[in-house]
A and B are shown apart, each in its own frame.
Chain A
Amino acid sequence: MKMIAFKKKTVRNIWLMAAFSLAASSCKKLLDKQPETFLTTTQMYRNVYDADAAVIGVYGKLMGLAKQYIVLNELRADLMQVTDNADADLREISSHTVSATNPYANPRPFYAVINDCNDVLKNLKIMVAANKIKQAEFDQRYSDIGCLRSWLYLQVGIHWGNIPYVTDPLETIDAVKDASKFPIIPFNQLIDSLINFTNTLPYQQPYPMGASINTGLMTNFDGYSTRRFFIDKFALLGDLNLWKGNYTAAATYYRKLMEPVNNGYDTDNANSLYSIGGLQYYDQFKQPFASVTDNNDLCIGYIRFKESDINSFIDNNTQGWRSMFVRSQDANWQKQWVWELPFNNNFAPENPFINLFSNRGGSYLVKPSKQAIDNWNSQTQTNGFPFDGRGSLTYRTFDGQPVICKYLYSYLDGTTFLPANLLQKNGNWFLNRAANVHLKFAEAANRDGRRKLAYGFLNIGISGTFAGPLGTATTNDQTNYENTLYESFPYNFDARYGDAPRFRADWYKNTGIRGTARLNAAPVSGDSTLSIENSILTEGALELAYEGERWPDLVRIAIRRNDNSIVANAIFNKLSKDGFANAAAIQAKLMDRKNWYLPFQF
């Protein structure tokens, strides 16, 4: 992290120097000495530590995309709305009337990071050829940065549609515009290219760990562990195949991620937590049921035996669903988070989300749309309460204004919701977590003919969905129930939970996305594939709101069904419910798919 700060200052110095030299050249030459603080390429890539620094540096650059990423993926979709404070650029994004000069619609920041990836990839190849790093070290780093580049291209493709696919490092970013060298390719072809490239990467697991976390890139610094710092390659491969429609392949990759102990995650395993049968084994990435006795979990919950009492709703920074967005990187945190990048006032870049979301110490530029609030308020919890508890924790009302709070819990005091320190804008960029992986797995399984399994992942978990006629009581003989072992990988799950005979199968704790939110199951009506897919799409809005999934979810499902109204109607609902007069015109515009994409203006 210090490294990132250093780089930024260096960049600032370059600008100062450039301005200085311009001014000087126009008048009188004052300096003729080369700066001494810069490295040439040959000085830069000497050994594995330099390679690690380059990898970290790329992730540092990536963090500069956080604001644009959230604005594009959420404000373009139906859950986020601009406030009265928002400028014309944000308003354009929200209402799909984007002008060519809109900075949020400029892909250049993405290509800048892509070009950095290309540069690192090229130099890693040079290094391994020159025996400066070992083959295994090369495989891990090359695959990581390669995956990151594919992820960036997927983002660019989702928002800009037809784009140039550049895999060589460029001297200047503007060379991207050279259509003779880099032809514009359509989104379908982009996905094929990304799958081809990413599939051939030599290493798909997380960076390895030894007995402790301090090995290579898996380490602790500035108070943060890098366990979930790097892109998850299984998740990306799952996503690419889901976009492509390779449902079995997508489900296979997601399944590997959902069983982390078997697939190379957290192998430091300090106190056998992660070994087979260890405490984390049944919980990690598996959406486990709540810890009802003490609420030390990541579920919507109430104090035990007072589940019908609104005053016992778990709403704090250390217990329940809300805590995942603020808790330290402890065992519970690791059960949920797949990819998360930290912002801290001790290092650059500054957290952009305080300014974007907060009306206390920020500019309060965006807020939840009426549509998003209606989504939550149309749910019913198992205790009969007519709202989704996740809504109450995702946004809150401060000073009469609805404020998106997911990103603010590290910044605001946990009970007064006033900034603890206006200058300490700590927080996180939430990029991927287990609930998202489960919904994506369900989406793939549903389309792959495993509707009941998808229903289980979405609603009440595997054991409840595949329970026998006597139910899920552990006193029943569960030998022949609560499992899908008659299926082959990746759909063969064992969730048996019984005492006679005793079962504590791998998936016995899984309780589904709506199960962890204490919601009644979403009913299935009409065509079950479409009905379940609709429910999965809605569930994403409830569970993952403002985490950057919404616009891609809408677009992917609309393309899959060849039904542009999925996107058009969602945006219409947002705009009309928030009182935009031209909502119908925007709806008509979005019925044409080419209008989903931003102008590719460099």
Chain B
Amino acid sequence: MFFRKRNIVIGLLFTAVVISACKKAFNDANSTNDSNLTVNLYQAIQQNNGTAIFASLLIKSGYATLLASGTKSYTVWVPTDAALASLPSTILNDTALLRKFVGNHIANGTYNAGSVTLQRIPMLNGKYNNMIAGGIDSANFTASNKYASNGVWHIIDKYIPARDNCWEWINNSTNTANSKALLQFLNYNFFDSTLATQTGVDPNTGAPIYKAGTGIVVKNKFLVDGVNINDESTEYTFLVLDDGSFTTEYNKLSPWFKTGSTDSTKTLTGFWLYKDLAVKGSYAASALPDTLLSQFGVKVPVDKSKITASYKTSNGWVHVMSQVNFNLNYKFPPIILEGENPSGFAADRTANALYRIRINPNTGATFKDLLMQNYGYAGYWIRYLAKGLNSMRYNAYWVSVNDVQTTPLWTQKLCIDSANNPTTFTYVTVPYQNYNEVSLGQFTIANYRNVNLFVVGANTSSTSGGSVSIDVDYIKLVPAF
């Protein structure tokens, strides 16, 4: 502290010497004579020649007061009077619609035009619009980067319609009734405790008690587990099946989703059908590739001649299709259960479980597996959970690697549903250094459900020598249809 204080003193002395010794260093330079900065955005738009209609709409929608305030800065894209001449009267005569429309031209913060990269800008009405160097949405700039005291504004040659997004589009559509009904069928009620009203505390458990009927929000399985096409900030391409093609594709899938109730089957089939039909990225009909890859890795064939109508939405494109001919092999890819991700064991044998990293000497690729040896438990099993197996036949394979001993070789078997299930597969000897898939046979699942698979070791107990072992690189279930 002693040093620091002295440094400050020396520093002050130094500054004093410099200032007193030299001439006046600074002129007053904090005044401005830029006339643009004497008016706010609303005044600038109102006073500009050729944008009077939009200025009147600002008044009518109530946004004028916002743009006249000086506390925050905004960006306004102002359609010319000529552009607004064609604005439908339905919008002009509906206050809510008008506010949504005007709000589609105003953003928080300042966005200057001229950036080469595409900017997706959030608007005051909750929509997003894409701005590129020459314009925004489908409009072009006739003047840009004009500024006022509280932001910038650009003049555009077309207005930006406040469109529905992809999800709103399907909910408002009138000509794809089957798809609309199905997607709405996927709605469910969700309890969100942060939105509920708490009325007390359970004296026994301490858990909160909520007022009945509060905190319920409607969610949609397609949006939550599939693709959230209700998200304005991201752009999607959404293929919607017309009524005829919906029935075709639905009937193609529904046999693989047999359950105890028709509603469950409908939910599962509908979700499975639609989960691959929305992909990220905005593709106009002309720009669509012949195959889209969904976020679930499923190839979606796109035959452009089957597009019956295309609609631009606020977050992408909707294409109504008269046919999407899914290949079932793509729709139901093989299920792979990795050996190193078990869901359970017959008993705790952590000390005998070896999670290994290996190189396949034939391919040079690395793989992980789970090897258990000398665990001293007859009929020991490792359990794997296969989620959502369809009501169909599966061919089962595994890769089980014995790279540790030429003798003795061990045996293991795969069982479905129970480690004691006698009707499934028999014991298989794991040969030395076989890195290939071994076919185990076929099994049938009657109803769509989660299935436990068990890899079961020899029915003897041993704690040495490796004669009783289990190794799983992976189990593969290939749909046989």
Contact = CB atoms under 8 A, between A and B. Distances in A.
A311 B3 CA distance: 53
Nearest to B4: A9
B366 A16 contact: no
Contact of A308 (B3, B10, B354): B354
A387 interface: yes
Interface string A1-41: 00000000100110011011001101110100000000000
Contact of A13 (B7, B18, B20, B368): B7
B252 interface: no
B357 A386 contact: yes
Given A13-B3, A13-B7, A17-B10, A23 B355 contact: no
A46 to B, nearest CB: 25
Nearest to A380: B359
A385 interface: yes
B11 interface: yes
B371 A20 contact: no
A386 B359 contact: yes
Contacts of B17: 20, 23-24, 27-28, 30
Given A28-B21, A384-B359, A309 B353 contact: yes
Interface in B1-26: 3, 6-7, 10-11, 13-14, 17-18, 20-21
B20 A309 contact: no
Given A9-B3, A384-B403, A306 B21 contact: no
B233 to A, nearest CB: 22
B403 to A, nearest CB: 7
A221 interface: no
B306 interface: no
Given A9-B3, A309-B354, A27 B14 contact: no
A24 B353 CA distance: 78
B234 to A, nearest CB: 21
Residue of B7, B17, B368 with most partner-chain A CB within 10 A: B17
A27 B22 CA distance: 8
Contacts of B10: 16-17, 20
A9 B7 CA distance: 10
A308 B20 CA distance: 77
B116 interface: no
B3 A310 contact: no
B14 A386 contact: no
A305 B351 contact: yes
Nearest to B364: A386
Contacts of B60: none
A482 to B, nearest CB: 29
Contacts of A27: 17-18, 20-21
Contacts of B366: 386
B21 A385 contact: no
Given A16-B7, A28-B21, A310 B355 contact: yes
Contacts of A24: 17
A530 B403 CA distance: 34
Nearest to A10: B3
Given A16-B10, A26-B21, A30-B17, A309 B356 contact: yes
Interface string A185-229: 000000000000000000000000000000000000000000000
Interface residues of B, number: 23
B358 interface: yes
A289 to B, nearest CB: 22
A383 B353 CA distance: 15
B6 to A, nearest CB: 8
A385 B7 contact: no
A81 to B, nearest CB: 24
Interface in B339-397: 351, 353-359, 366, 368, 371
Contacts of A20: 10, 13-14, 17
Contacts of A385: 356-358
A311 B6 CA distance: 57
B356 A30 contact: no
B468 to A, nearest CB: 17
A17 B6 CA distance: 11
Contacts of B356: 308-310, 383-385
A422 to B, nearest CB: 21
Nearest to A386: B359
Given A19-B14, A23-B18, A386-B366, A309 B359 contact: no
Contacts of B351: 305-306
A377 to B, nearest CB: 9
A42 to B, nearest CB: 25
Nearest to B358: A384
Interface in B312-358: 351, 353-358
B13 to A, nearest CB: 7
Contacts of B371: 308
A30 B357 contact: no
Nearest to A6: B3
Interface string B248-284: 0000000000000000000000000000000000000
A30 B13 contact: yes
Interface string A386-413: 1100000000000000000000000000
A19 B371 CA distance: 72
A311 B355 CA distance: 7
A16 B17 CA distance: 14
A26 B22 CA distance: 10
A28 B14 CA distance: 12
Nearest to A384: B358
Given A13-B3, A384-B403, A309 B355 contact: yes
Nearest to A383: B356
Nearest to A19: B14
B357 A310 contact: yes
Contacts of A311: 355
B7 A387 contact: no
Contacts of A306: 351, 354
A521 B239 CA distance: 59
A19 B354 CA distance: 68
A384 B403 CA distance: 10
Contacts of B13: 20, 30
30 contacts: A9-B3, A12-B7, A13-B3, A13-B6, A17-B10, A19-B14, A20-B13, A23-B14, A23-B21, A24-B17, A26-B21, A27-B17, A27-B20, A27-B21, A28-B17, A30-B17, A308-B354, A308-B356, A308-B371, A310-B356, A310-B357, A311-B355, A380-B359, A383-B356, A384-B358, A384-B403, A385-B357, A386-B357, A386-B358, A386-B359
Interface of A: 9, 12-13, 16-17, 19-20, 23-24, 26-28, 30, 305-306, 308-311, 380, 383-387
Interface of B: 3, 6-7, 10-11, 13-14, 17-18, 20-21, 351, 353-359, 366, 368, 371, 403
Please provide the 3 A-B residue pairs with the shortest distance between their CB atoms, ordered closest to farther. A27-B21, A309-B354, A308-B354
